[in-house]
């Protein structure tokens, strides 16, 4: 799924050993991000309660992201935190009937 931009960001930071903390990114992905992702993907309903649950999960994940970046060693330019919200839009809209009926997908804008 191309819209999993935060996942791609985590993988890239682990692979490039961003600030010599690639292993930390890989561990964060496995122990924090992937459980969060599974919980978001498991919510298939489009009810108000389901949306509130997705937002609750997002808020909890943001706390863990901020804890991981204690001391602000991950720069804003790296788009680590902003990709969380980008990806959340995919979780929020993935099960809308119109998205499925029209065969829509969320794609990253290609870089020229």
From 89, 36, 86, 42, select the one nearest 63 (Cα to Cα).
36
Residue 91 counted as domain residue: yes
- Tell me the pLDDT band of 112, cut-offs 50, 70 and 90: very low
Number of folded domains that form the chain: 1
Residue 106 counted as domain residue: no
Cα angle 108, 89, 76; round to 5: 70
Q: Please name the residues in contact with 92: beta carbons below 8 A apart, sequence gap of 6 or more.
A: 51, 54
Q: pTM value?
A: 0.87
Residue 44, domain extent: 5-101
- Tell me the pLDDT band of 106, cut-offs 50, 70 and 90: low
């Amino acid at each position: 799924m191309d819209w999993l931009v935060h996942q791609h960001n985590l993988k890239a930071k682990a692979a490039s050993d961003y600030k010599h903390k690639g292993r930390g990114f890989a561990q964060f992905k496995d122990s924090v991000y992937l459980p969060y992702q599974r919980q978001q993907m498991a919510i298939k309903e489009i009810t108000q309660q389901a949306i509130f649950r997705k937002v609750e999960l997002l808020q909890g994940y943001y706390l863990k992201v901020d804890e991981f970046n204690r001391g602000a060693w991950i720069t804003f330019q790296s788009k680590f935190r902003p990709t969380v919200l980008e990806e959340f839009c995919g979780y929020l809209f993935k099960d809308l009937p119109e998205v499925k009926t029209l065969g829509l997908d969320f794609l990253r804008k290609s870089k020229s």
